[in-house]
């Protein structure tokens, strides 16, 4: 079984952005400044990451007002929420596989140790 | 089972290197699946704490409040009718102080959690908050004086002392169901059942206090568990 980790989400900053927005109820939006506060990112870095996610239709942003009164809000789209769900499932499957590999390695090492003691 | 990524992103900058291979740690700086899982769980927990206005600590405080307030009322009207007996001044003073603290804490927590958040769920939440405040007002500020004035009512006739609890419990169950917050709905229905089954004038305040205290402690425990629960490794 092969699972694919979405490369767009498989980046620390973007993963945190998507997870934070996914914690809100479906359709609810978060202001850019609040998101920046929560994640502790610089505006420039956050804009770059949001742009990548928006290009993939994982988020949508809306700007209201103008000048100093302008406000940008960001919302996770259904596609973005689905992508995070798929990413989480893939990660679970992957880690399950890794745990199985580690357990097998541990068993093999234990057997080898046992053989060594027997000799 | 081995997951593969068509590309592995490196670093905070988000530069995507288009390389095929397994999603395990490769060269230094790779974001391997274990790190991803840990970060996903950590970010989920942080986001839940950030956006959940009613924290386990607040629910635990409310459990103490209802126990102290209703327990105080019960102590001061023991042996009398709950709505016609005289509640002592100290019990009312303690209740007012605790309720003011609770309202202030709750308002601050809701404002902090809702900062920068907008959308349909926020509007729905605001509407339900008004509904719950109305239920509390109807339950205690209106129902008890009306009963005290001698007005008859089918509910009061059946459950004179626990009518407020039935009203608030059913309203709270409706809120829980509307938000699919089943622990709240279940705890509220439990309160309604207890109030209907055991609500007698003599012990109504104490039953109210113990029932609400147990419900708040249950919700506090569930909220704490839910906030700590991971996405990848529940």
pLDDT in 10s for each residue of chain A, 119 residues: 446 889 999 999 999 999 999 999 888 999 999 999 999 999 999 999 999 999 999 999 998 887 777 889 999 999 999 999 999 999 988 888 666 655 555 555 444 443 332 22
Nearest to B1 among A1, A19, A45 (CB): A1
Tokens 């012990």, residue? B203
Interface of A with B in 42-81 (CB under 8 A): 45, 48-49, 52, 73, 75
Cα distances (angstroms) measured from residue A11 to each of B7, B13, B53, B117 = 11, 9, 29, 25
Q: Which helix (H) or strand (E) holds B162?
A: none
Q: Is B31 on the interface with A (CB under 8 A)?
A: yes
Q: Which CATH architecture has domain A12-118?
A: Orthogonal Bundle (1.10)
The pLDDT of residue A118:
27
Q: Do B14 and A95 touch (CB under 8 A)?
A: no
Residue A69 to residue A66: CA distance in whole angstroms? 6
Residues in CB range of A60: below 8 A, 6 or more apart: A54, A74, A75, A77
Identify the DSSP state of A11.
S
Beta-carbon neighbour count of residue B180 at 10 Å?
Answer: 8
Contacts of A4 in chain B (CB under 8 A): 3-6
User: Which residue from B20, B30, B12, B144 is spatially nearest to B81, judged by alpha carbons?
Assistant: B144
The pLDDT of residue A116:
32
The pLDDT of residue B136:
78
Interface of A with B in 18-47 (CB under 8 A): 19-20, 22-31, 33-35, 38, 45
Reported as a pLDDT band with limits 50, 70 and 90, residue B83 is low
Buried b / exposed e along B184-211 (16+ C-beta atoms within 10 A): bbbbbbbbbebbeeebebebbbbbbbbb
Q: What's the distance, CA B49 to chain centroid?
A: 14
Dihedral (CA of B130, B135, B141, B147) sign: positive
pLDDT in tens, B120-136: 888 887 888 888 888 87
Q: A99, A108 in Cβ contact below 8 A?
A: no
The pLDDT of residue B1:
38
Residue B56 to residue B92: CA distance in whole angstroms? 26
Residue B107's region, left for phi above 0, alpha for psi from -120 to 50, else beta, is: alpha
Nearest to A28 among B6, B40, B118 (CB): B118
Beta-carbon neighbour count of residue A44 at 10 Å?
Answer: 8
Contacts of B49 in chain A (CB under 8 A): none
Q: Do B40 and A88 touch (CB under 8 A)?
A: yes
User: Which residue from B228, B11, B9, B232 is spatially nearest to A98, judged by alpha carbons?
Assistant: B232
Question: What tokens does A50 get?
Answer: 């949001």
* Structure ipTM: 0.78
Beta-carbon neighbour count of residue B163 at 10 Å?
Answer: 26
Q: Is A102 on the interface with B (CB under 8 A)?
A: no
The domain spans of chain A are 12-118
Q: Do A10 and B48 touch (CB under 8 A)?
A: no
């Amino acid at each position: 079984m092969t699972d694919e980790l979405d490369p767009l989400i498989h980046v620390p900053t973007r993963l945190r952005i998507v997870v934070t927005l996914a914690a809100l109820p479906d359709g609810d939006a978060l202001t850019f400044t609040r998101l920046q506060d929560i994640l502790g990112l610089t505006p420039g870095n956050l804009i770059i990451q949001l742009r990548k996610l928006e290009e993939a239709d994982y988020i949508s942003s809306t700007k209201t007002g103008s000048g100093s009164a302008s406000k940008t809000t960001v919302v996770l789209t259904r596609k973005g929420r689905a992508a995070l769900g798929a990413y989480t499932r893939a990660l679970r499957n992957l880690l399950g596989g890794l745990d199985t590999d580690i357990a097998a390695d541990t068993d093999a090492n234990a057997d080898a140790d046992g053989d060594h003691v027997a000799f | 089972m081995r997951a593969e990524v068509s590309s592995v992103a490196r670093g905070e900058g988000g530069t995507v290197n288009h390389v095929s291979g397994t999603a395990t740690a490769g060269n230094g700086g790779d974001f391997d699946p274990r790190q991803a899982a840990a970060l996903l769980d950590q970010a989920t927990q942080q986001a839940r704490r950030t956006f959940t206005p009613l924290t386990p600590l607040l629910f635990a405080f409310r459990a103490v409040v209802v126990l102290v307030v209703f327990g105080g009322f019960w102590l001061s009207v023991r042996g009398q009718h709950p709505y016609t007996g005289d509640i002592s001044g100290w019990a009312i003073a303690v209740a007012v102080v605790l309720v003011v603290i609770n309202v202030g804490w709750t308002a601050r927590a809701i404002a902090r959690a809702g900062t920068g958040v907008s959308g349909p769920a926020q509007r729905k939440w605001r509407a339900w908050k008004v509904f719950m405040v109305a239920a509390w007002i109807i339950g205690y500020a209106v129902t008890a004086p009306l009963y005290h004035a001698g007005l008859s009512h089918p509910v009061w006739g059946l459950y004179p002392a626990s009518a407020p609890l039935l009203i608030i419990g059913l309203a709270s169950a409706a809120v829980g169901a509307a938000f699919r917050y089943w622990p709240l709905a279940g705890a509220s229905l439990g309160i309604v059942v207890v109030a209907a089954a055991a609500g007698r004038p003599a012990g109504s305040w104490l039953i109210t206090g113990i029932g609400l205290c147990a419900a708040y402690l249950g919700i506090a425990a569930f909220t704490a568990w839910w906030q700590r629960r991971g996405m990848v490794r529940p």
